[in-house]
Amino acid sequence: MNVVVVESPAKAKTINKYLGSGYKVLASFGHVRDLPAKDGSVRPDDDFSMSWEVDSASSKRLGDIVKALKDSDGLILATDPDREGEAISWHVLEVLQQKKAIGKKPVQRVVFNAITKGAVLEAMSNPRDIDMPLVDAYLARRALDYLFGFTLSPVLWRKLPGARSAGRVQSVALRLVSDREAEIERFVREEYWTVAALLKTLRNDSFTARLVSVDGKKLAKLDIKNAEQAGQIKAMLDGAAFKAASVEAKPTKRNPGPPFTTSTLQQAASGQLGFSASRTMQVAQRLYEGMDLGGETAGLITYMRTDGVQMAPEAVQAARQTIGKVFGEKYVPEKPRYYATKAKNAQEAHEAIRPTDFNRHPKDVRKFLDADQARLYELIWKRAIASQMQAADIERTTVEIDAVNGSQSAQLRATGSVVRFDGFLGAYTDHREEEDTDEDGARLPEIRAGENLAREKIDTEQHSTEPPPRYSEATLIKKMEELGIGRPSTYAATLATLRDREYVSIEKRKLIPAAKGRLVTAFLENFFPRYVEYDFTAGLEEKLDEISDGKLKWKDVLRDFWTDFFGSVDGIKELRVTNVLDALNESLGPLVFPPREDGGDPRICQVCGTGTLSLKLGKYGAFVGCSNYPDCKFTRQLGGSETASENGGNGDEPKVLGKDPYTDEEISVRNGRFGPYVQRGDGKEAKRASLPKGWTVDGMDHEKALALLSLPRDVGQHPETGKMIAAGIGRYGPYITHDGAYANVDSIEDVFSIGINRAVTVLADKLSKGPRRGGGTPAALKQLGDHPDGGAITVRDGRYGPYVNWGKVNATLPKGKDPAAVTVEEALALISEKAGSKSARKPAAKKTATAKKPAAKKAAPKKAAAKKAS
């Protein structure tokens, strides 16, 4: 019997069915050890030696592997076929050797790009050793990230309070987002006009032509600058005679793109399905690891972390056969299509993402998948099929039109296209092509060269230039890939880090840098410019690729980096905070000093009239304050407008609304660094309440303030239990609560107006949606999918914060973890730890081992698990 180690329980469950009784497949649940999050885990002075730490959950799983090895013939490491997968196998082997669990038993490394029976059995018959250059590349990357973060982040904390951390790739990605925001702020709109004519042929067919030149001068986009110019041209065309000078029809071909890589899949899933990068990878992971297809278990797609664009020859042949059956033989090109990879390192450029079996049509497998899985599988299937289909035949027609009015003349152009043969477009259209719906896509009527055209109408239209758009997750990933920043396995994790650190927020799917994110970027650009340069970061990525290709020694790369980096950090330790603030005031002018409505100097304090505004640093981060402090106490949140900062008073000066009728204490509305709030009384015992979303300082009065300060409000006793129902405003909005059960209500106003009858109805509706345990079970915030042993895994919001639920097991999320960002692997780890500590398991379910909790106090040796980014 051989022991086989893979990353996940889902993968283990699928592979176990293929291999049979001669193998025992166990899951490592990602990495089994990591660098402890403390100083000294990487020691440059000791030839970059590293300390690794195993957490308690990983220690238990390694113990299971050790136990299984006692009666085995050998060990087979079958983790994923990339750098991270190679590193997991190396870590497992290192720990097992330290525990002397291997002895003289053979150790083999196998890799497969798809989890199908054929692919797995083929891999088992072609084992190899661990690829040490790939492991070296992992070690170098892990050490670089650790040294960058643990060396630079403390400098940030000292010089820029409120900053969370810096990261080798994350800081450069944040710079991209911040620089784009600065571009938008600097952008000055320009007015311009366009002129178009609605014309008619002798056969009474209408079409539109656009003005391209006047009196022989070609018009640029911004040449018609105002309504007066546009009006003069319109007057000339209103009296002109129109004639088709030439008609040219050109046949063109549009070729399909290659199958998906990691980044192009994330971009397409964002554009067409509305998925975030992390959601795309979560769903793709499930499709890869194996699905129950009505008695058969198989992976539906190949490995999803890849920068390769080529498909295996047998897959190309299978795609061509499917195209002939589904679309017809005319859609099959004479020769297979081959695509060239842009990846600089062949060892990390695997096969493109494709279906494992092209005969599994999306409509046939939809019944076995949830909605997101079905949509993503269909996208992957269509793109891969389209990549081997015939080109689309398109005829593009251009009509040049002369307009003559006496001595004046103008030229107009009408363009259109028609698809003569749809080719690959019959299977897949890129989302960017769908958005490109200008006049070129219109079909023109029959127009003959030399014929006269009748004028129906001349239109003029005003426009203004637009600033560059903010990045979405998809466009940021595309830009990072173009610049060579990061690699397929890091994109989703980098974006998640920026959100978790609250450096960016997402509104309408666009990335908006928070004030603290822009502060960090400006600080690094001013004092560590080399380490947020795009070329430097891309160059370091190339060196890491060369390590994995065996062309560079990993410790040599670390020495080169560390010598310069340590010198840069050491040279800034004595930098005064005032120097930092002066530099940031200049770099972030539009953010720190937004324009005043009265056109005055935005750096002059509007409260005292003599002080100069500047960035200040407080315990909780940066804010804008007056140089005349403490005589002038004006402050403003960074990024806030002047008028917003003065609503209701002079900066931090409270606006008195009246007195509490029962305590006779003063009630005031104030502006704090975390937003406006109301306060009753003074000192530590004063009661405070933040203004709810949608409420403004200007709109606050005595009555509203009293209502806010009275929360939570007693609604009345529940008719069945006799216990009080209360209403309040919490972390996730307005709610009512009774006997430990919570239910959301529609609006803030409901908190103050809801009566006992409606409250009882709302609570009953909430409880009817889920089983009752003690109080009511909160509704799921997020569905993560099914546990490997059956049963749904969900994220819920409870009385004491968000938690993961599976059956009777509830596991609280770590402090600061965004419930929306929880992955299946993280949830499995939390559930396993909780189930192990409480011996709580779902009835009739097998015991599962899972991952990742804080390091065990007596785990040997000390190691900390880090989940492989999913």
- Write out the catalytic residue numbers: 303
**Angstrom distance (rounded) from CA 743 to CA 764:** 9
153: left (phi over 0), alpha (psi -120 to 50) or beta: alpha
| Three-state secondary structure of 204-239 | CCEEEEEEEEECCEECCCCCCCCHHHHHHHHHHHHC
Tell how far CA 263 is from the center of its chain.
12
HSE-up (13 A, CA, CB side) for residue 437: 5
Omega cis (within 30) before 734? no
- How long a stretch of residues is the chain? 870
* Cβ count near 361 (within 10 Å): 16
The alpha-helical segments, DSSP class H, found in 549-603 are 554-572, 577-587, 589-592
* Cβ count near 797 (within 10 Å): 21
H or E stretch at 646: helix 642-646
User: DSSP characters for 399-415?
Assistant: EEEEEEETTEEEEEEEE
* Residue ranges with strand state E in 571-723: 613-618, 621-626, 635-637, 655-659, 666-672, 675-680, 687-690, 713-717
**Angstrom distance (rounded) from CA 202 to CA 398:** 18
> Is residue 485 within 8 Å of residue 172, measured between CB atoms?
yes
Of 22, 824, 24, 123, the C-alpha closest to 13 is: 24
Of 593, 648, 654, the C-alpha closest to 625 is: 593
**Angstrom distance (rounded) from CA 521 to CA 531:** 11
Q: Across the strands, what pairs with 676?
A: 671
> Is residue 284 within 8 Å of residue 262, measured between CB atoms?
no
Using only C-alpha atoms, the chain has a radius of gyration, in whole angstroms, of: 32
SS3 191: strand
